[in-house]
């Protein structure tokens, strides 16, 4: 179990953040201590605040008297509500806050069910409760509670590999925004893509798409990005999420800088030639789109195909997980443009096209150190990762997700909204300079 302790000055903000989860049916109040009861058993922010108010009014010199603690068991732990209540009670007592008023909220908006405790670190006389060696005492408390309630230790190294996968988002669950955040926050750290099209090709592997939006504000043109979740058919199935919800790195301005850096990086990327030859060999040695994609997947390369309503290919993008770079076919060479693949996968002229390619290249096995196995991909008509006729997955078809999962953190368990709230609590008020006093 992992404990996170936040401190702030705005208890209304802490209560509102947690009550919003309750109102959205993504949380509930499990228990309270030294909080005024209500006739109907329901709670409101103003009613909860009344129990904290005397402590905050009595506060003498503590700049941040509000405590906002989250306790996070391992996702594999099956913790009952009664155990959560007792764990919260025991933790507060071990930390010296057992007599303080507090509210215990349970959050269920992400895969990792966890609890939040809102309290105050000043006693009824306004004196700050000692917090010496707080982090060390918190770690000791977590280790003791893990043993007492038979929880998986946070230091355990032998974890279920499936829990470490950086999975595509599932639009059917409640935490779509958190899932999108966990993807768009990390991709720029690991992959090079040169424009919005190649960025979207990479996002499509995670059932996400981004769109540029333009508008006017006070007569000035403004640009930005919005993100959507996609279903299995590549259709938008969520409301648009503004990029600002996910941090600066997800916004258009920072992405454009990333595009430019990627262009410079890719200029000196030796993997381009290897990728080009691998694709050319794939065209020559396969007879249809399904075989071609499967062969490239065995080399650690995803193929994202875009078609119009008539079924004609108007764009093709290759994602090379060995060099972590994304390329449009036309960037690799004229013989790898969308039109070429339309011809290659047209049965009437397949042989003619393959003969032409054979005359221009020497067929050899490309050198590659990539050991990535084929990935599991569901039929997806917009990008058409794999033909619907392809056989069902086998136990060996975990390549891409295992590969990417080893590069990226266990992001699905992150609560991005919680992190944003914690960052706000950490911000200190700017001190006034003597010359600015009125």
* Residues 312, 252 within the same domain: no
Give the C-alpha separation, 143 to 136, whole Å.
11
| Number of domain units in the chain | 3
* Residues 259, 360 within the same domain: no
Task: Provide φ and ψ at 390, rounded to 5°.
Answer: -65, 145
Q: Is residue 417 part of a domain?
A: no
* Residues 258, 149 within the same domain: no
Q: Is residue 430 part of a domain?
A: no
- DSSP SS3 for 119: strand
CA distances from residue 156 to 40, 143, 152 in whole angstroms, order as listed: 43, 12, 7
Q: Kindly give, in sequence order, each residue whose CB lies less than 8 Å from that of residue 321, ignoring residues fewer than 6 positions away.
A: 300, 301, 302, 370, 372, 400, 403, 404
Q: What does the pLDDT look like over 296-352, one tens digit per residue?
A: 887 788 999 988 888 888 899 999 887 888 999 988 888 898 888 888 887 544 555
Give the pLDDT confidence score for residue 322 in this predicted structure: 77
* Residues 300, 243 within the same domain: no
* Residues 99, 187 within the same domain: no
* Residues 335, 381 within the same domain: yes
Q: Kindly give, in sequence order, each residue whose CB lies less than 8 Å from that of residue 106, ignoring residues fewer than 6 positions away.
A: 27, 28, 29, 30, 81, 84, 113, 114, 115
Give the pLDDT confidence score for residue 422 in this predicted structure: 64
Q: Is residue 423 part of a domain?
A: no
* Residues 304, 359 within the same domain: yes
Q: Is residue 96 part of a domain?
A: yes
Cβ 254 vs Cβ 248: under 8 Å: yes
Cβ 343 vs Cβ 353: under 8 Å: yes
Q: What does the pLDDT look like over 363-388, one tens digit per residue?
A: 444 343 333 333 334 333 332 333 33
Question: Which stretches of 28-175 are DSSP H helices?
Answer: 45-58, 81-94, 134-148
SS3 content of the chain, % helix, strand, coil (to 5): 40, 20, 40
Long-range contacts of 25-28 (CB under 8 A, 24+ apart): 26/107, 26/108, 26/109, 26/174, 26/175, 27/105, 27/106, 27/107, 27/108, 27/109, 28/105, 28/106, 28/108
The parent domain of residue 310 ranges over 271-406
Give the pLDDT confidence score for residue 392 in this predicted structure: 31
Q: Is residue 371 part of a domain?
A: yes
Q: Is residue 380 part of a domain?
A: yes
* Residues 101, 193 within the same domain: no
Give the pLDDT confidence score for residue 196 in this predicted structure: 93
* Residues 150, 7 within the same domain: yes
* Residues 206, 137 within the same domain: no
Give the pLDDT confidence score for residue 426 in this predicted structure: 58
Kindly give the parts of the chain with pLDDT less than 70. Answer: 110-111, 155-166, 216-219, 221, 347-438
Give the pLDDT confidence score for residue 312 in this predicted structure: 87
CATH of the domain at 141: 3.30.930.30
* Residues 281, 364 within the same domain: yes
Half-sphere exposure for 326 (CA within 13 Å, toward CB): 25
Residue ending a domain, among 112, 127, 157, is: 157
Residue ending a domain, among 266, 298, 317, is: 266
* Residues 261, 121 within the same domain: no
Q: For the whole model, what pTM was predicted? A: 0.51
Angle formed at CA 189 by CA 188 and CA 193, multiple of 5 degrees: 40
Q: Is residue 257 part of a domain?
A: yes
Give the pLDDT confidence score for residue 115 in this predicted structure: 93
Q: Is residue 166 part of a domain?
A: no
Two structure tokens written together for 433: 């300079």
Task: Provide φ and ψ at 100, rounded to 5°.
Answer: -80, 150
Give the pLDDT confidence score for residue 360 in this predicted structure: 57
Cβ 141 vs Cβ 61: under 8 Å: no
CA distances from residue 327 to 34, 271, 330 in whole angstroms, order as listed: 60, 11, 8
């Amino acid at each position: 179990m992992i404990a996170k302790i936040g401190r702030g000055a705005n208890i209304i903000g802490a209560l509102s953040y947690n009550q919003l989860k309750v109102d959205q049916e993504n949380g509930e109040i499990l228990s309270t201590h030294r909080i005024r009861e209500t006739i109907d058993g329901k709670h409101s922010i103003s009613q909860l605040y009344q129990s904290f108010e005397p402590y905050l009014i009595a506060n003498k010199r503590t700049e941040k008297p509000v405590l906002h603690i989250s306790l996070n068991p391992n996702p594999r732990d099956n913790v009952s509500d009664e155990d959560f209540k007792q764990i919260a009670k025991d933790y507060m007592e071990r930390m010296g806050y057992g007599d303080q008023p507090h509210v215990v909220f349970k959050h269920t908006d992400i895969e990792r069910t966890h609890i939040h405790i809102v309290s105050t670190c000043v006693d009824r006389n306004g004196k700050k409760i000692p917090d010496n060696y707080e982090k060390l005492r918190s770690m000791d408390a977590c280790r003791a509670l893990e043993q007492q309630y038979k929880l998986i230790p946070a230091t355990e190294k032998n974890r279920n590999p499936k829990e470490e996968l950086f999975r595509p988002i599932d639009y059917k669950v409640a935490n779509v925004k958190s899932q999108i955040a966990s993807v768009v926050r990390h991709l720029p750290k690991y992959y090079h893509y040169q424009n919005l099209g190649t960025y979207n090709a990479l996002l499509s592997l995670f059932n996400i798409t981004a769109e540029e939006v333009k508008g006017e504000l006070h007569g000035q043109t403004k640009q930005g990005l919005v993100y959507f979740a996609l279903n299995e058919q590549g259709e938008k199935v969520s409301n648009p999420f503004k990029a600002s919800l996910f941090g600066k790195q997800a916004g258009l301005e920072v992405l454009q800088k990333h595009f430019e850096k990627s262009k410079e990086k890719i200029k000196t990327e030796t993997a381009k030639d290897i990728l080009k030859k691998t694709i050319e060999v794939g065209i020559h040695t396969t007879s249809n789109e399904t075989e071609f994609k499967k062969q490239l997947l065995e080399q650690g390369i995803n193929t994202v195909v875009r078609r119009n309503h008539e079924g004609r290919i108007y764009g093709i993008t290759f994602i090379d997980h060995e060099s972590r770079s994304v390329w449009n076919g036309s960037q690799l060479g004229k013989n790898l443009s969308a039109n070429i693949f339309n011809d290659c996968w047209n049965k009437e002229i397949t042989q003619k096209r393959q003969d032409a390619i054979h005359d221009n290249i020497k067929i050899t096995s490309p050198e590659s150190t990539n050991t990535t196995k084929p990935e599991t991909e569901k039929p997806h008509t917009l990008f058409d990762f794999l033909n619907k006729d392809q056989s069902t997955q086998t136990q060996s078809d975990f390549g891409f997700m295992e590969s990417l999962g080893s590069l990226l953190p266990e992001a699905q368990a992150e609560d991005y909204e919680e992190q944003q709230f914690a960052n706000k609590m950490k911000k200190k008020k700017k001190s006034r300079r003597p010359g600015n006093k009125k």
